[in-house]
């Protein structure tokens, strides 16, 4: 039985020579790029990379079955020290990767382009570091992809990429620009998670489609962020932009939102909501949250129609979103700063009307309703003048000459004026002396009763009108 130890020794040496594990529990050796076991497609890639050219497998081999690259080959090509990769970096087109690609914690020191490739298994870039740019433009991922905590020192290009599973990209950091134009996130139940995304340049998601839930919560961008023409197509899921911070323009021009949408506590330098298609209905359920959102500039169309579109939006969502005064007060302050008091007043009144519907009741509700009609909550003090004219006009009818008589005989020769008598009874403090000279006849009960009502109305309404004119009620 002495041959058995010798057998195991020889077997171990053979396995090591082939780059396989010699014993259980040990990690397999790296695939070597000069190994004779490389496939024709892999040898073609190595040759093209060595001369600084893009390796287009479809152009070279035609059928996709001949364009297969092993994940281990890609991992070695991108990460193995001493690999002869020129300054042009690695560019591979139309590759098919069947097995799982694992680049967790990997460091890639040159520009990498995996263009129009197809990944049939899971792909993991989590905590990897790309010293230059990364492009996955036109590539398709059929299984979940993990970009969590990935760092890219230059730009990232996901243009026209397709994702059929979960996309985990929380805490992803890109020092340059990030483009995902016409990218398609196709799974209606898979989460697209860009939580705490950090981008040093701009980000472009123009024409992208999101079939399921998506979150950009807590993301930070220093430059422009554009979603022009994008579609959020799932009526049952949330598109989450809560607490994002954008240092330049954010644009949703021509976007379609079918589901729930939240901008709570987001901060934008400029926000453009022009030509946005909002959800038709979600019944009585809240579907839009804008509370806590701030902006230096906001628009929803041309200069003439922007304010009206915003007003219609907040009014339409008023009964279908969580009540928050700052949604209306923010727009009130914004248009007041721009010098558009009429538009600002509309949003202020909308705030008060929503407050009356959602919060107030009893006497407080009646007081709010009265202020709305009498002085427009202090923003339309001229209404008090109109109401006062109406009340004085009623007095002129009630206190007609045939219903009045002098209080003393020596006043018989005085000329009586229904207008000045009505004014004298209505105005508090000010004395025109007509009310001291004339009085309703004893048989005119209506005139006596209205005289008291007339006086009470004057003492009650005139101080409120003065408060409105001085701005005390407009806050």
Q: What pLDDT, on the 0 to 100 scale, is given for residue 1?
A: 42
Cβ atoms of residues 190 and 214 within 8 Å: no
Residue 99: its pLDDT value, please? 96
pLDDT of residue 197: 97
- Tens digits of per-residue pLDDT, 395-427? 888 888 888 888 887 888 888 888 888 888 888
pLDDT interval class at 182 (50, 70, 90): very high
pLDDT band, residue 29 (cuts 50/70/90): very low
Minimal CA–CA distance to 406: which of 382, 385, 433, 387? 433
Measured CA to CA, the distance from residue 146 to residue 296 in angstroms comes to 35
In this prediction, residue 58 has a pLDDT band, given cuts at 50, 70 and 90, of very high
pLDDT at 28: 41
Instruction: For residues 68 and 403, give the distance between their C-alpha atoms in angstroms, rounded to a whole number.
Output: 106
Over pLDDT 90: what percentage of the chain? 47
Please tell me which residue, 119 or 456, carries the higher pLDDT value. Answer: 119
d(CA 336, CA 344): 6
Distances in Å between the Cα of 399 and the Cα atoms of 385, 434, 462 are 21, 12, 21
Instruction: Give the whole-angstrom CA distance, residue 74 versus residue 121.
Output: 14
Mean pLDDT for 178-198 is: 96
Q: Which residue has the higher pLDDT, 54 or 364?
A: 54
Instruction: Write down the pLDDT at residue 444.
Output: 85
Residues 284-302: pLDDT tens digits?
A: 677 888 888 999 999 998 8
Instruction: Dig out the tokens for 296 from the structure.
Output: 């230096």
How much is the CA Rg of the chain, to the nearest whole Å?
38
How would you class 254 by CB atoms within 10 Å of its CB: exposed for 0-12, middle for 13-18, buried for 19 or more?
A: middle
State the average pLDDT over residues 182-208: 96
Q: How far is CA 223 from CA 148, 249, 430, in A?
A: 22, 7, 62
Q: Residue by residue, what is the 3-state secondary structure of the chain? A: CCHHHHHHHHHHHHHHHCCCCCCCCCCCCCCCCCCCCCCHHHHHHHHHHHCCCCEEHHHHHCCHHHCECCHHHHHHHHHCCCCCCCCCCEEEECCEECCCEECCCCEECCCEEEECCEECCCEECCCCEECCCEECCCCEECCCEECCCCEECCCEECCCCEECCCEECCCCEECCCEECCCCEECCCCCCEECCCCEECCCEECCCCEECCCEECCCCEECCCEECCCCEECCCCCEEECCCCEEEEEEECCCCEECCEEECCCCEEEEEECCCCECCCCECECCCEECCCCEEEEEECCCCCCHHHHHHHHHHHHHHHCCCCHHHHHHHHHHHHHCCCHHHHHHHHHHHHHHHHHHCCCCHHHHHHHHHHHHHHHHCCCHHHHHHHHHHHHHHHHHCCHHHEEECCHHHCCCCCCHHHHHHHHHCCCCCCCHHHHEEECCCCHHHHHHHHHHHHHHHHHHHHHHHHHCCCCCC
pLDDT tens-digit profile of 130-150? 999 999 999 999 999 999 999
Stretch among 17-21, 66-70, 323-327 having the lowest mean pLDDT: 17-21
The set of residues, in sequence order, having a beta carbon less than 8 Å from that of 274 and lying 6+ positions away, is 253, 254, 299, 300, 301, 306
Q: In the predicted model, is pLDDT for residue 277 greater than 50?
A: yes
Strand partners, 93: 56, 115
At 466, phi and psi to the nearest 5?
-65, -40
Mean pLDDT (the chain, rounded): 84
Burial, 87: exposed, middle or buried (Cβ in 10 Å; 0-12, 13-18, 19+)? exposed
Q: How confident is the model at residue 280 (pLDDT cuts 50, 70, 90)?
A: confident
Structure-block tokens of residue 70: 């092993």
What are 103-122's pLDDT values in tens digits? Answer: 999 999 989 999 999 999 99
Q: Give me the pLDDT at residue 13, please.
A: 37
**Is the pLDDT reported for residue 6 higher than 60?**
no
| Distance from C-alpha of 246 to C-alpha of 306, rounded to nearest angstrom | 21
CA distance 179 to 227: 11
- Residue 10 has a pLDDT of 36
Is the model's pLDDT at 42 over the cut of 80?
A: yes
């Amino acid at each position: 039985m002495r041959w058995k130890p010798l057998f195991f020794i020889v077997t171990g040496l053979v396995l090591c020579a082939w780059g396989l594990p010699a014993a259980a529990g040990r990690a397999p050796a790296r695939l070597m790029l000069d190994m004779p076991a490389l496939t024709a497609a892999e040898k073609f890639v190595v040759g093209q990379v060595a001369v600084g050219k893009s390796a287009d497998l479809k152009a070279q081999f035609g059928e996709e079955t001949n364009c297969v690259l092993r994940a281990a080959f890609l991992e070695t090509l991108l990460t193995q020290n001493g690999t002869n990769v020129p300054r042009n970096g690695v560019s591979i087109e139309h590759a098919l990767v069947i097995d799982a690609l694992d680049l967790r914690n990997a460091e890639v020191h040159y520009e990498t382009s995996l263009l129009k490739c197809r990944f049939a298994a899971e792909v993991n870039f989590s905590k990897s570091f790309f010293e230059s740019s990364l492009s996955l433009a036109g590539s398709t991922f059929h299984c979940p992809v993990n970009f969590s905590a990935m760092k890219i020192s230059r730009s990232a290009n996901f243009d026209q990429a397709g994702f059929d599973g979960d996309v985990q990209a929380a805490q992803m950091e890109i020092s340059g620009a990030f483009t995902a134009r016409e990218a398609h996130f196709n799974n209606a139940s898979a989460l697209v998670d860009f939580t705490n995304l950090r981008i040093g340049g701009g980000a472009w998601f123009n024409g992208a489609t999101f079939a399921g839930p998506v979150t950009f919560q807590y993301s930070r961008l220093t430059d422009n962020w554009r979603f022009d023409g994008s579609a959020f197509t799932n009526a049952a899921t949330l598109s989450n932009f809560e607490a994002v911070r954008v240092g330049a323009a954010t644009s949703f021009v021509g976007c379609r939102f079918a589901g729930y949408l939240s901008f709570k506590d987001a901060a934008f330098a400029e926000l453009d909501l022009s030509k946005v298609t909002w959800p038709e209905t979600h019944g009585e359920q809240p579907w839009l949250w804008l509370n806590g959102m701030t902006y230096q500039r906001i628009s929803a169309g041309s200069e003439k129609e922007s304010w009206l579109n915003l007003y219609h939006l907040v009014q339409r969502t008023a009964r279908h979103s969580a009540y928050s005064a700052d949604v209306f007060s923010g727009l009130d302050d914004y248009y007041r700063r721009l010098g558009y008091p009429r538009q600002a007043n509309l949003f202020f009144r909308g705030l008060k009307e929503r407050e009356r519907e959602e919060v107030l009741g009893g006497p407080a509700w009646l007081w709010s309703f009265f202020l709305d009609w009498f002085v427009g909550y202090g923003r339309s003090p001229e209404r008090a003048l109109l109401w006062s004219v109406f009340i004085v006009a009623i007095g002129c009818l009630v206190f007609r000459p045939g219903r009045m008589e002098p209080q003393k005989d020596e006043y018989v020769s005085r000329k009586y004026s229904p207008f000045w008598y009505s004014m004298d009874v209505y105005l508090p403090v000010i004395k025109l002396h007509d009310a001291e000279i004339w009085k309703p006849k004893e048989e005119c009960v209506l005139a006596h009763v209205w005289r008291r009502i007339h006086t009470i109305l004057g003492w009650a309404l005139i101080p409120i009108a003065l408060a409105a004119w001085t701005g005390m009620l407009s806050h």
